[in-house]
Amino acid sequence: MREIYLDNSATTRVYPEVLEAVRHAMEEDYGNTSSLHQKGLDAERCIRQARDTLARLLKVQEKELIFTSGGTESDNLALIGAAMANQRAGKHLITSAVEHAAVGAAMRFLEEQGFELTVLPVDQYGFVSPEGLRQAIREDTILVSVMYVNNEIGTVEPVAELAKAVHEARPEILFHADAIQAFGKYRIYPKKLGIDMLSVSGHKIHGPKGVGFLYVDSRVKIRPILYGGGHQNGMRSGTENVPGVSGMALAAEIAYRDLDEKTARMRALKQKFTEGVKQIEGCRINGPEGEGGAPHIVSVSVEGVRAEVLLHALEEKGIFVSAGSACSSNKPAVSATLKAIGLPRELLDSTLRFSFCEYTTEEEIEETLLALKELLPRLRLFRRK
């Protein structure tokens, strides 16, 4: 049976070139970067090359990048590290109601440590208001975190406007953006956008799992959250993941080749899919559909059918999608994002996420629409009374 993979916001298939780069690093450049012999120097060269590639793509300094185990660690290092390092200036933090759990849970941990947290509401499309953020800033505010692209409904937050609102209020306040769903889809230049810290994950851009990085502007004070051998200038101890870092940097380089063409094609597929979904009775699209939405994410609520039931019905046809964020747990839970945008209660557990990539084809979109048209009337016959 043919497989149609439409869960690319959960993870992506690695590029063939990345697979080869990872294999080479594991077979040839397998030394420890801390070793003084040639094998160690070869491994260190791989890390330097990766750092150069990523710094060039973001137009930042190489020393401003910290390699991590992925998006969750990058978010935690940014938030916990910056809050702890700057708490003498204040203990007030601001975030939004639609953040990924890696940000939300880290913020709740900081609340337990005595910090105060303001959670900004969003509108029906998931947008954070720059004016609302401006009004929430206090004299003791030290850190604001708002994601670049929402991982569930694809909302592209106005990060430049939000960062401007923060820095106009008080230049010393730090602005962090979780860019895990945005990197590889948008040209992101943190210094131009006013972003002080930026989190990225490798496996969302056809790179390996278990690797990511955090951009930290050189003027930002941040404390490590992992301690040990003092790797990466003491900011992230632990033997560097040479295969992962090499693969992630190559994946980023490939992702940004012909980026405009790739994203335009994904956006065309998204439009075809959303227009088809609207023709199906009892279906609605969540989040913005135009330029305000990411080119690769579509959230669909289906009346009368639970998300888990429809997910497995599609799976039987070889179509793989997601019921909300796959990063949180494999156990279904009510989405904070869907609640925040005011989705009716009866649709909270009836929403699926379809997410595309450069490998997605028009034929796959057509087959998925046909499957939905066939399955939904049948599944609704068994709806709960």
Greatest alpha-carbon pair distance for the chain in Å reads 70
Query: Which residue among 46, 283, 327, 357 is the active-site one?
Result: 327
The rounded distance, in Å, linking the Cα atoms of 14 and 19 is 6
DSSP H stretches of helix in the chain: 16-27, 38-58, 71-85, 101-112, 130-136, 159-169, 190-193, 242-255, 259-278, 307-315, 336-340, 362-380
Chain centre distance of CA 268: 22
Q: How many other β-carbons are positioned within 10 Å of the β-carbon of residue 230?
A: 12
Q: Which residues make Cβ contacts (< 8 Å) with residue 248, sequence separation at least 6?
A: 50, 54, 202, 205, 207, 208, 211, 212, 213
Write the DSSP symbol of residue 64: G
Would you say the C-alpha torsion 107, 111, 114, 118 has a positive or negative sign? positive
Q: Are 73 and 272 in contact (CB under 8 A)?
A: no
Helix (H, G, I), strand (E, B) or coil at 257: coil
Chain centre distance of CA 294: 11
Q: Are 231 and 34 in contact (CB under 8 A)?
A: yes
327 given a catalytic annotation = yes
The one-letter code for the residue type at 16 is P
Q: Which are the catalytic amino acids?
A: 327
